[in-house]
Amino acid sequence: MSMTLEECHTKCLQNYTCMAYANPDPSLGGRGCLLWFDDLLDIRLLPEGSGTGGDIFVRMASSELDSESIPRKKKEGAKIKIILPVIIPGVLVIGFISTCLCYARRKRNHTEPTGEGAILNTYKSQEEDMEQPLFSFSTIANATANFSPGNKLGEGGFGPVYKGTLEEGKYIAVKRLSKNSTQGINEFKNEVLCISKLQHRNLVKLLGCCIHGYEKLLIYEYMPNKSLDAYIFSNTQSVLLDWTKRFNIIKGIARGLVYLHLDSRLRIIHRDIKASNILLDQDMNAKISDFGLARSFGGNETEANTERVVGTYGYMSPEYALDGLFSIKSNVFSFGVLVLEIVSGKRNRGFIDPENEENLIGHVWNLYTQGRSMELIDASCADSCHPHEVIRLINVELLCVQKNAVDRPNMLSVVLMLDSEGELLQPKKPLFSMETKSPVANFSSKSYTGGSTVTEVDPR
């Protein structure tokens, strides 16, 4: 309001987007500056001599002017008058509406879902901060050559997994939620919420995620040696894992579970520890993956009960399979079964001892009580193993698969037992005849090509 008309003229010429200027109220003695940008709104054309509005000075191209010199301030003929009662309220209304629209747009960007992007709302409602970057769908599509079959690494309960290469040359693994998956948005959210809080050398690192309409992608660090099951259950690949590598893998898994149970920001119960969820990096170090079924505990919580029992048959503890009760001791049981498979090269599920018609746990118990534990060792690593380590490891494993959860050690004790030479407790006879002699639950499972089995159990 302090500028003169000449200063207003100079101000308008300094900005190429300024289309016109005027003194808003001639009664103020020629002071005050009102500028127009883009379209000339809120003005009205009046015949010469009518009204009391001030002059408006409109910026025009040279081609629009007459060949004769035209005075800068006025042109003969009609005069454009400013209708102040229209301009000032109009400016205020437009400013108010613009502010409201900007606020609404900003709020919508933070709260409205895109497609099934309601995951972002869930983060807010759970007061969880999403600490992973969001990748654009085009970036991931380019990295995977539009999800080319040639880049497919495998497929599990969540969906297919693809190898990708980012523009800077970094390799990534991309899990793409399948439309036919029994898992879905809940598992997607659960995986991001759990693993985004975790950092450990024996856990697969989540680099970020992508939400694009119905597309939901999880982006991980790339593991060149894929999953553990591709080695221990293969006649050809098993020879690549000598005893030292297997023992190091077992200890790496144990350290990862100690972190989940004791040292992480959240106490995590994985609920699906198995060979296909253990990935191997270029140095054959074990990394726990797939947290879609994991549950987190807070405070002093150590166990919980669920009506929906999910996981993989053959790895689930008795109290979880039968009663839906899970705790850190449920992971200990799964770890014990996994150790059996790593040592023997045999799958727990489907194994039947031809002599006693027992499953793998029963077979191991019989060998252990008869002093024949060395017969369990996989032939591909029998020559490289150390008998005292094998016997000690089987003892620890049998402690992990005890029928009662209270009889199982915690994972910190397991790590200490693996790293020391002290005397071990003697295990009790485990529960290994549940499958064949007393079916107490109704199991139904669905298999996925190249991947894992997701099992839901409905206790009677």
Residues classed as catalytic: 272
Sequence-separated (6 or more) residues with CB below 8 Å from residue 432? 358, 359, 361, 362, 365
Sequence-separated (6 or more) residues with CB below 8 Å from residue 244? 384
Q: Which two tokens stand for residue 90?
A: 């109009």
Amino acid at 402: Q
Contact 337, 396 (CB under 8 A): no
As to burial, measured by CB atoms within 10 angstroms (0-12 exposed, 13-18 middle, 19+ buried), residue 211 is buried
Q: Which two tokens stand for residue 7?
A: 């200063």
What is each CA distance from 451 to 39, 155, 227, 230, 290, in whole angstroms? 62, 5, 10, 10, 12
Q: Which two tokens stand for residue 165?
A: 């290469």
- What is the C-alpha R_g of the chain? 35
Per-residue exposure over 38-52, b if at least 16 CB sit within 10 Å of its own CB, e if not: eeeebbeebeeeeee
Contact 451, 155 (CB under 8 A): yes
Torsion of CA 398, 355, 433, 238, to 10 degrees: 50
Q: Which two tokens stand for residue 421?
A: 């030479």
Beta strands in 193-249 (DSSP E): 206-212, 215-221
Contact 211, 177 (CB under 8 A): no
The SS3 call for residue 28 is helix
